Amino acid sequence: MTTVVQWNRSEAHAPPTGATTPARRARGALWGGRAGYFLLPAIALYGAFMVWPIGQTIWLSFTNWDGITGSPTWHGLDNYRRLVGDARFLHALEHNLEWVVGSWLAQGLGLLVAALLSAQWIRGRTFFRTVIFIPATMSLVVVGIVWDQIYDPNRGLLNTGLDGMGLHRLDHGWLADQHTAMPAVIATANWTYYGFAMVIFLGGLQSIDRSLYEAAAIDGCGPIRQFWYVAIPGLRNQITLLLLVSFINTLRTFDLVYVMTNGGPGRSTEVAAYYIYSLAFVTQQVGYGASVAVALTVVVLVVTVLFLRLREREA
Amino acid sequence: MTSHRVSRGASYAALIFMTLVSLLPLMWVLNSSVRTEADIDAHPLGVTWPPHWSNYREAWTQARFSSYFLNSVVVAVATVGVVLLCTIPAAYAIAVVRVRYSRAVFYVILLGLMIPVWSIVIPLFYEMRSLGLINTRSGAVLIEAAVGLPFAVFMLRAALRDLPRDVVEAAVIDGAGHLRMLRSVVVPLCMPTIKALIVFEFMWSWNELVVPLFFLQTDSVRTLPIGLSFFQGRFGADPAIVAAGTSMAVLPVLAVYLALNRQFIDGITAGASK
């Protein structure tokens, strides 16, 4: 690890001209750092299918176009003016935020499972870990279809299960009711989230020095206080990482809504990505859809930068 | 002592509960896939005996699952190939050779980890249509590879940065050229990371919805997830066939995951610590 730091330093502090000795050069960059063509395939692919389209999206966001006739016409800031007062967009973002907060439940569940699994006396650790991670490997389309059937009012697992327990009163058209649709979709998403959180936290817990727990035990801490005062601070990196990843993924989430509810009933489950989809590809407002996409991207980037700043300051 | 036993019991109970929550939906679908619609309607949680295997035959032939399946395999394998071919040399140039400006390139590529696919899909859709790459598997492969590229560059660069510098320098002194270095030093020493990447990129491509939704719109090129969502609309009335189709989409991934479980978990843990 220290050597890596040194190389970086020698690079950063290298005098701008002349004074770089060949020896130092060789330590920082091999062959004088000439092999640019190795970067070309990646740059070409990334440039053509990421950078260029992003530029195009930004340009489209200043235009008006139905995507079918003629070509985009320049509209200046009109789309963005519309966006600021667009209640439907804000409403969609609110749903994204509910989703973010809802996903914390899965992170907590993942932490709990990881904590149980890292107890020294536990048997079948690999079995539990392997099985509990399975939902996280599944395609969201598959998950959406499966849970759509689970929520089915007549033959779904949930309602028949409730009936079996004599709880007929709780039977429900879970995805058809404005009030339960969003929680039902978020619960489905959480089903795919907790496995990932568990694995991340397990990795973190394994790297915590055992002697810290012993020291806490000697100081009279029980298992719960040991967890709170030793494990939680030791997991700070994992916690910020999970919060960041889940935030980014949740802001751009689309698949479950597309498969399960199409944003309905009403617009009660419409998220930002679904709004972009319906603008650009259903109601043919390509220019405005592009401006919503730009806004979403900016939100994601700002959140990421804030998170990383915070993380650096704490470290 | 008894409180000790109680807390251990509670721990196991919680773990078994989570295991059931994770497995039950899957078991239920697998069970429904070998039943008939009438049985499911009459007893949603029951078992049909003997199993009604013909649902699979119907899904495979009438619902064109054979072609969805093949398309998914082709697209996922090609995506993994393109990603590795582009990122291994790139990560080598960034982390080992330290080509000029490669740091800047690295950070620009890293930004791609944050970019929502929605900020590229709209213009790409019209562009691919005019290039004639829409409804072709190669078009979808190129886009999925570009989307999967930042993560691969990130992981490989981190792995290469941790390579013992002495080994690399010794190879240079022995007169190894770039290709030799890639083949004999970089690739063998990065094999664990490369294996993890193969698993991840394959799975992402296999599970991807948005790219095929826009770029693979005809039935002959549809991949499993997108085919499945159409299939659900078309066969929505028969939950047994939907369940059979769903099982077909799940089982291969499940098999890969169970077989490569170790690489999988290690890959995630390694990715998180970087």
Rounded to whole angstroms, the Cα distance separating A201 from A249 reads: 18
User: What per-residue confidence (pLDDT) applies to B13?
Assistant: 92
Written as six digits, the tokens of A124 are: 């079948």
| Distance in angstroms (rounded) separating the CA atoms of residues A204 and B272 | 9
Residue-wise pLDDT for B4-23, tens only, equals: 778 888 889 999 999 999 99
Closest-CA residue of B relative to A195 is B22
Find which of A46, A96, A226 to mutate to test the B interface (most B CBs within 10 Å of its CB): A46
- Would you state the pLDDT for residue A155? 78
Choice between B43 and A74, residue whose per-residue pLDDT is larger = A74
CB burial of residue B80 (10 Å; 0-12, 13-18, 19+):
buried
Is residue B243 very low, low, confident or very high in pLDDT (cuts 50, 70, 90)? Answer: confident
The pLDDT of residue A201 is 92
Confidence at residue A33, expressed as pLDDT on a 0 to 100 scale: 65
Q: How confident is the model at residue A192 (pLDDT cuts 50, 70, 90)?
A: very high
How close B118 gets to chain A, by Cα (Å)? 6
What does the pLDDT read at residue A295? 94
* pLDDT value of residue A1: 33
For residue A149, the model assigns a pLDDT of: 85
Chain B, window 125-164: residues with a beta carbon less than 8 angstroms from a chain A beta carbon = 125-127, 142-143, 145-147, 149-150, 153, 161-162
Q: Do A60 and B122 touch (CB under 8 A)?
A: yes
- pLDDT value at residue B235: 55
Q: What are the CA-CA distances from residue B185 to residues B12, B97, B175, B178 (Å)?
A: 46, 13, 13, 10
pLDDT band, residue B166 (cuts 50/70/90): confident
Q: Which residues of B touch A72 (CB under 8 A)?
A: none
- Which residue of chain A is at minimal alpha-carbon distance from B182? A38
Average pLDDT over residues B107-122: 90
Q: Output the CA–CA distances (angstroms, integers) from residue B255 to A188, A273, B18, in the order listed.
A: 23, 31, 21
With a CB-CB cutoff of 8 Å, which residues 250-309 of chain A face chain B? 251-252, 254-255, 258-259, 273, 276-277, 280-281, 286, 289-290, 293-294, 296-297, 300-301, 304
Average pLDDT over residues A222-245: 85
Q: Do B115 and A54 touch (CB under 8 A)?
A: yes
Strands A63-64 and A73-74: antiparallel
Position A3 scores a pLDDT of 33
Buried b (16+ CB within 10 A) or exposed e, A211-223: eebeebeeeebee
A118-159 pLDDT, tens digit each: 888 888 888 999 999 999 989 999 999 999 888 988 878 888
Amino acid in the structure at residue B156? L
Question: What part of B 87-126 touches A (C-beta under 8 Å)?
Answer: 87, 89-90, 92-94, 96-100, 102, 105, 108-109, 111-112, 114-126
Number of cross-chain residue pairs from A and B with Cβ atoms under 8 Å apart: 290
pLDDT at residue A154, as a whole number: 81
- Is the minimum CB–CB distance between A134 and chain B shorter than 8 Å? yes
What is the predicted pLDDT for the residue at A283? 87
Helical (H) or strand (E) element with B87:
helix B65-92
Q: Which amino acid, B260?
A: L
Least-confidence region, from A61-75, A139-153, A157-171, B232-246: B232-246
Strand, coil or helix: A103: helix
Task: Tell me what percent of the residues of chain A surpass a pLDDT of 90.
Answer: 39
| Tens digit of each residue's pLDDT (9 = 90 or more) over B75-89 | 999 999 999 999 999
Q: How confident is the model at residue A162 (pLDDT cuts 50, 70, 90)?
A: confident
Q: Residue A73 — φ and ψ, nearest 5°? A: -110, 140
Residue contact B18–A161, C-beta within 8 A: no
Query: What is the reported pLDDT for A53?
Result: 94
Return the pLDDT at A28.
57
**Lowest-pLDDT choice from A6-15, A186-195, A212-221, A234-243:** A6-15
Least confident of A219-233, A279-293, B86-100: A219-233
User: Is residue A22 reached through a cis peptide bond, with omega within 30 degrees of 0 on the bond before it?
Assistant: no
Mean pLDDT of chain A: 84
Mean pLDDT, rounded, for A269-279: 93
The region of weakest confidence among B41-45, B85-89, B140-144, B249-253 is B41-45
Q: Residue A10's pLDDT is what?
A: 37
Chain A interface, best mutation among B11, B75, B79, B99, by max A CB count within 10 A: B99
Mean pLDDT for the stretch of residues B51-55: 82
Predicted pLDDT of residue A4: 35
Average pLDDT over residues B236-250: 81
Say whether B116 and A238 touch across the interface (CB within 8 A): no
Residue B188 burial (10 A CB sphere; 0-12, 13-18, 19+): exposed
pLDDT at residue A14 greater than cutoff 60? no
Q: Say what the pLDDT of residue A263 is.
A: 86
pLDDT exceeds 90 at position A218: no
Task: Note the pLDDT of residue A315.
Answer: 60
A240 → chain B, closest CA residue: B272
Min mean pLDDT across A14-18, A141-145, B118-122, B171-175 is at: A14-18
- Enumerate the residues of chain A whose CB falls inside 8 A of the CB of residue B273: 203, 237
Residue B112: C-alpha distances to residues A155, A221, A290, B31, B262 (Å): 43, 45, 18, 41, 27
Q: In terms of CA atoms, which chain A residue is nearest residue B13?
A: A116
Cβ contact, residue pair A293, B119, below 8 Å: yes
Q: Which residues of A touch B264 (CB under 8 A)?
A: 133, 137
- pLDDT for B72 beyond 70: yes
Residues 37-66 of B with CB under 8 A from A: 40-41, 44-45
Question: CB–CB of A38 and B14 under 8 A?
Answer: no
Number of Cβ within a 10 Å radius of residue A226? 17
Tokens found for residue A123 = 């048997």
Taking CB atoms and an 8 Å limit, are A276 and B21 in contact across chains? no
Q: Which residue in A138, A256, A271, A274 has the most chain B C-beta atoms within 10 A of its own C-beta, making it the best mutation to test that interface?
A: A138
Percentage, residues of chain A above pLDDT 70: 89
What integer is the mean pLDDT of A42-58?
93
Q: Tell me the longest C-alpha to C-alpha distance in chain B.
A: 76
What is the structure's pLDDT at A29?
62
Q: Is B90 a residue whose pLDDT tops 50? A: yes
| DSSP code, position A73 | E
| Most confident stretch, A66-70, A82-86, B231-235 | A82-86
Residue of B15, B84, B167 best to disrupt the A interface, most CBs of A under 10 A:
B15
**Residue B265 near residue A129 (C-beta atoms within 8 A):** yes
| Residue A7 confidence class, pLDDT cut points 50, 70, 90 | very low
